[in-house]
Copies of this chain bind each other. A is one copy, B any other.
């Protein structure tokens, strides 16, 4: 009593029979290809609706050699970076009828191979490789894979196509912002040296300061990405030093570090941003907006990156060859009270 019309199980032949035409004609109507009389078209359309006809994508794929689906391989179990990216990705691709297979390959090495094999059997039109660690690729062997592939966030091989946020631009945005609000002694506290993004942001911090001829003593402070490290680093910068030696702003490599920093300053009765302004990176809403004071940050525009990945992959599938190497997408400054104060 639930299957009026067989819901979605009707074939093109059912429609053809219902109208009294051939399957070829129905196909033409459904794809708006070839000449069909207005009358026939209307009848076919009506029957299709009536029967809840939905063309079988498998059959179509078999015939056209295009599956209208792509695979996304990621080792990001946590999703802080992946999901916003996926949101943009699926949004961009669905417009062209493309669906995205998600494969989370956080686990034994063979898991990646298994997923990849499944995707290849399903004849995905394209592949996206994205990693949790922005600098290290998920562990998959792509040897011999001829499917168009885009690397997102994590960096693919030199002859591959990679899309990633413009880390240097983001860092420059942060530092320029601090300079604009009048800060001159801008410290940098960030993640491990082995992270490519940490080095890129640090370089950009240094370059931007140098371009303005500002405070150049001291180096970037490298630790992990955590709140705890922010806290510790703040102590390094402040404790046992005269206030005249303090920075008047800190650019942090992650929002978590920024939070720890703010925390430590508060404990010491240092006003943020009055005495020291703080800006983070990632614009991890739920953290940054909830901080006290709310933490200014740099947004990597991951959804937009995802959309761009979709566009690029689509073009590759269509036969184009986008620039190899890494294409950088701009970041955005999100000012909050930790730099501009409560007044705005």
A: which residues have CB within 8 A of B?
2-4, 7-9, 52, 54-59, 61-62, 67-69, 71-72, 76-80, 82-84, 86-87, 90-91, 94, 97-104, 106-107, 111, 114-115, 117-123, 144-147, 226-228, 231, 256, 260, 263, 285-287, 290, 292, 303
Q: Out of B57, B78, B94, name the residue touching A114 (CB < 8 Å).
A: B94
Closest to A147 in B: B8
CB neighbours of A101 from chain B (8 A):
69, 99-102
Q: State the copy count for this chain.
A: 2
Are A290 and B103 neighbours in the complex by a CB distance under 8 Å? no
Which residues from B are CB-within-8-Å of A144? Answer: 2, 4, 7-8, 52
| CB < 8 Å neighbour of A123 from B57, B118, B122 | B57
B146 pairs with A58, CB closer than 8 A:
no
Q: What are 23 A-B residue pairs whose CB atoms fall within 8 Å in the complex? A: A8-B146, A54-B121, A58-B62, A58-B122, A68-B118, A77-B303, A78-B83, A79-B82, A79-B84, A83-B83, A86-B102, A90-B104, A94-B103, A94-B115, A97-B118, A99-B103, A99-B118, A99-B122, A101-B102, A102-B102, A226-B290, A228-B292, A260-B290
Say yes or no: B122 contacts A57, CB within 8 Å: yes
Nearest CB in chain B: distance from A163 CB, A = 18
